[in-house]
A and B are shown apart, each in its own frame.
Chain A
Amino acid sequence: MSGTIVRPYGDTTGDGMVQLSFTLPVPLDKRAEGAALQLAGKMGVDPAMVVHAKQMGDAHTFFVVYGRVNHLVDLSAVRVVERDFPLLSPKEINQLVRRRLRRRLVVVGACIGTDAHTVGIDAILNVKGIAGEKGLEYYREFAVVNLGAQVSVPELVERARAEKADAVLVSQVVTQRDAHLHNVREMSAAFREAFPAGRRPLLVVGGPRFDELMAGELGVDRIFGRGTSPREVASYLVHALVTSRDGTQKRAA
């Protein structure tokens, strides 16, 4: 298994050097620096070096620590959902939809349950987008219906049917006692009940608290976690609904 074990790289191979920064709720003095070293030590940084400490206000200190970690990373034990579709540019996405689907791709998005936090769905759908990438509304060949927050599952199913949605995007940001998992299970069950197999819209779920590996368990087609960009979602939709379904149009235009 040699070659699957790696360590952080600072200046030379295998030196294990990392840099970290954090704030402790203590004023800056000798004890504070010692506290920072203690934290770094517990994080596996040994030896650790406090290279910067600056007091902020009366009661907090910011630290930058450099040091060597004793942990090993086993690449063969890493489990992730690899992107199994090509990442396309907005232009390529629009072209594929126009040429191969020959109508606009309809996306209905919502936050379901009691979650009132639309930042996730808005980041993906709104023109404004996130981190310099525009949302799906910006794509000429996407027809986007953003239902906003606190949408009930029956309401979502109804709108998806009325809009002839190709895909339904659901965001869950804030959750208590795994509410996000219950909500998504309820949603996917409702869609399975309301649509015949093969005519159900693609179900896509996103939010920082989801495990991307749980799609099958929750009955949805895809889960996107933290840091997903609108372009990734758009590329996935085109992959799932257009390029991998050639010739088998899901429904009449």
Chain B
Amino acid sequence: MIAVIRSTGQSLLDYVPEGATREGFAGTYATQENFRLMRAALDEVSAEVGRYVRLTNYASGLCMPEIATLAGLERLDMMLNDSMYGILFRDINPIRTFVDQRFSRQIHARAGIIINTGEDNYLTTADAVEAAHTVTVSQLLNEYFAHEAGLADWQLGLGHAFEINPDLPESFRLELAHALLARELFPRAPLKWMPPTRHMTGDVFRGNLLNGFFNLAGVLTGQGILLVGMMTEAVATPWLSDRDIALQNVRYVLNACSGLHEDFVPKPGGFIQRRAATVLAEAVQLLERIVDEGLLTAIADGTFGIMKRPPDGGRGLDGVARHEDDYYNPATEILEGTQ
């Protein structure tokens, strides 16, 4: 699977650029023509290597629905699509985001695209141990909104990440507890497991070791979508050799113990099980609070990823209109009719 990241700042464009682009920083603009070119290139490679190579891009920001549509038209396989990421990390208006995420997910449902949600991002700002339960709550919300928009379980790449401070004692056991909790809460969802970013430094040797542990945790807990961590995460766009070394790391772990999850049963009442139970209990508590306050209030209070985002703040609210009594949208009718 190949993921092509977008040019920095595209999430804040309230339009989708057109045509093939050779510009962009740290990524490539998501345009219909670029999608077509990437898919065509991967079709060629797929034929060469004798297996289908999937293509991933981003349906996020102010143009979630538009980009979701282009992805469907151009046969993309997987799209990053979170119900709250734009609110929290791009300061996009909460109401605009909830409206857009629903429509984009209806399109993804119809196109048979797997979505990836962005819970890993919370842990790049909030502490991965203290805020572990907010990841669980967000996964549950993302699952709810996804089902509500017509996505099936196999399409839910619910996100989480290996972001606990590696200097913390028992950090790996904590990671395993969190990863296993997600696995058991969503047994039929593929789950997207993100490598460390926050505690990656210019020490590429330590970074490669951390990524090895990340890969091991992924194998032990049966994560479906394992992203490849680069040891130069904090240094540069990965070089050819960085990518090769990172892939060797993954291959070693998969080759050495791909079936290990069959043997891995944490001791009943042991550290991992107790930690998972604690996180789950905290998640339930937080959900109870959200039920009382409402989700928009919880977001305004900075419940997720520290950011406080009031419902009338952020970009793009002027693009939202209340339904009139005689509102009719043929696209919605078709999309909801297919579910």
Which B residues from 116 to 165 make CB contacts under 8 A with A?
121, 124-125
Q: Is A128 an interface residue (CB 8 A)?
A: yes
Once A127-B306, A131-B201, A132-B201 are accepted as A-B contacts, the answer to whether A117 and B25 lie under 8 Å apart by CB is yes
Assembly CA distance A148 to B240 (angstroms):
31
Q: What residues on B are CB-neighbors of A60 within 8 Å?
A: 240
Give per-residue flags for A56-83: 1 if the beta carbon is below 8 A from chain B beta carbons, else 0: 1000101000000000000000000000
Assembly CA distance A173 to B199 (angstroms):
24
- Interface pair B125/A134, CB less than 8 Å apart: yes
- Minimal Cβ-Cβ distance residue in B for A115: B25
Assembly CA distance A227 to B26 (angstroms):
17
Q: Is B234 an interface residue (CB 8 A)?
A: yes
Give per-residue flags for A99-135: 1 if the beta carbon is below 8 A from chain B beta carbons, else 0: 0000000000000000011110010001111111010
- Interface pair A119/B26, CB less than 8 Å apart: yes
Assembly CA distance A173 to B9 (angstroms):
14
- Interface pair B240/A131, CB less than 8 Å apart: no
Q: Is B338 an interface residue (CB 8 A)?
A: no
Q: What residues on A are CB-neighbors of B198 within 8 Å?
A: 131-132
- Interface pair B125/A148, CB less than 8 Å apart: no
Q: Which of A132, A148, A173 gathers the greatest number of chain B CB atoms within 10 Å?
A: A132
- Interface pair A173/B200, CB less than 8 Å apart: no
- Interface pair B8/A117, CB less than 8 Å apart: yes
Q: What residues on B are CB-neighbors of A119 within 8 Å?
A: 8, 25-26
Q: Is B213 an interface residue (CB 8 A)?
A: no
Chain B proximity of A21: nearest CB distance (Å): 7
Q: What residues on B are CB-neighbors of A138 within 8 Å?
A: 125, 306
- Interface pair B241/A21, CB less than 8 Å apart: yes
Chain B proximity of A125: nearest CB distance (Å): 12
Assembly CA distance A116 to B9 (angstroms):
8
Q: What residues on B are CB-neighbors of A174 within 8 Å?
A: 25
Which B residues from 76 to 127 make CB contacts under 8 A with A?
89, 121, 124-125
Which B residues from 194 to 249 make CB contacts under 8 A with A?
198-202, 234, 239-241, 244-245
- Interface pair B239/A23, CB less than 8 Å apart: yes
Query: Which residues of B are in contact with A by a Cβ distance under 8 Å?
Result: 8-9, 12, 25-26, 89, 121, 124-125, 198-202, 234, 239-241, 244-245, 305-307
- 7 new A-B contacts, CB < 8 A, other than A127-B125, A131-B198, A134-B125, are A56-B241, A116-B8, A117-B8, A128-B89, A131-B201, A131-B234, A138-B125
